[in-house]
Structure 1
Amino acid sequence: MNSLIRLSKFSLLIIIALAANSAHGQDKESNNPYAGLPFKDRLFFGGDLGLSFGTITYIRIAPIIGFNVSPKFSVGAGPSYQYYKDNRFIGLESSIYGGSVFGRYFVIENIFLQTEFEVLNLDELYYNPTSDYIPDRVTIPVWFVGAGLSQRTPNGSGFFIGVFYDLIGDINSPYPSDIAVRAGGMISF
């Protein structure tokens, strides 16, 4: 648990450092069109949806709410729900609940770097000597870092696709590998 707390604090420090760097030295009038805007005008909403059907059925719904710190840097958070069923194994089915926080920094116009810390709660199957599986819920951390491509309108709405690597690689992770590809969208009002 201590390593989880250290990792979440480290991820939070990275997000704060990126925010400070993004805000440092910016002229309110010329470099940051968000400066002086009301809080609600800097918010955006979005998320991602994942679907896979076949031997492994996977459905992911992850809405987010974000805040544009500057034109290059945004932060956000949101809940997630995933349904996972693997037909290769009897009884391997789980509803996965979680939440995440992220920081996204645009290196150039449409290319971003992102760190995201996610906590998931899912069933873990333990083997019982009577040959029965006994489900128990476990909470696991996932820490993604990666990059992506985003197509945005001037108001910040748009879509993204990214490739992310899980630095923790917990054995109970529902992700089939340490690499995840995500696509989604965002809307600014």
Structure 2
Amino acid sequence: MRRLVTICFLLISIVGMAQDDGYVYGETPSKPTSPKKSGFDWSRVTLGGGFGMTFGDYTYIEVAPNMGYYLTDNVLVGVGANYTYYEDKYYNYSTSIYGGRVYAEYLFDNLPLLAHTEAEVINFEEYLGSRINVVNLYVGGGIQQKFSGNSYFYILALWNLNETRESLYFNPPSPIIRGGIAIGL
């Protein structure tokens, strides 16, 4: 089996080298190559996040800013924070939930789709009154609507791969629906 795999790799390598006749004939590239730009490129940065609120017997206010950077035209990585205030007037209860996240997205060419993965740490009050930290690992995807350069609106459906009883959104296997905006600088 090992010999067969080795032979296949050699044949693929030979076929791949045979496709490049520029080297054989000494051709030069048709476009002049420019030196690679080094340093931080602010045009690849996005700022955005999500915001939500509900008032009535229940008060829910959420602020979730984030900052992303395009590593390539299709790959976006970023960091974010989140804060949620929740109040239930019926039970005379209120709490604050806060945390941070790192994420990566792949934006598909010529399609309004994106793939999303994320690691999040949140701190919230348990039912006994003590505060705990919980780590969530989300995967999923969504749709995007570009409106300018690197700017777009998005809606995501995410599933928690680390679902436990302590998870804030404990309701397996239901997805978490999230929306927001990313604005390119």
| TM-score normalised over the length of structure 2 | 0.70
**1:149 — aligned with what?**
143
8 Å contact 2:45–2:70 — kept in the other structure?
A: yes
> Residues 59-94 of structure 1, C-alpha deviation per residue, up to 9 Å, x if partnerless?
211100100011111000011101123456x35421
> In angstroms, what is the RMSD of aligned CA positions?
2.3
Instruction: State the AA in 1 paired with 2:184.
Output: S
Instruction: State the AA in 1 paired with 2:45.
Output: L
Whole-Å Cα distance in 2 between the matches of residues 87 and 157 of structure 1? 39
8 Å contact 2:154–2:180 — kept in the other structure?
A: yes
Residue 94 (1) aligns with residue 95 (2): yes
> Residues 163-189 of structure 1, C-alpha deviation per residue, up to 9 Å, x if partnerless?
111111232333363521111001111
Gaps (5+ residues) in structure 1?
A: 1-29, 127-134
8 Å contact 2:164–2:170 — kept in the other structure?
A: no
- Match runs of 1:1-189 below 5 Å: 36=37, 38-54=40-56, 56-87=58-89, 90-108=91-109, 109-126=111-128, 135-175=129-169, 177=171, 178-189=174-185
Task: Give 3-state SS (helix, strand or coil) of 1:125's partner.
Answer: coil
Task: Give 3-state SS (helix, strand or coil) of 1:169's partner.
Answer: coil
Whole-Å Cα distance in 2 between the matches of residues 176 and 40 of structure 1? 38
% identical aligned pairs: 31
Gap change, CA 1:175 and 1:74, over 3 Å in 2: same
| TM-score normalised over the length of structure 1 | 0.69
8 Å contact 1:141–1:170 — kept in the other structure?
A: no
8 Å contact 1:83–1:94 — kept in the other structure?
A: yes
Gaps (5+ residues) in structure 2?
A: 1-30
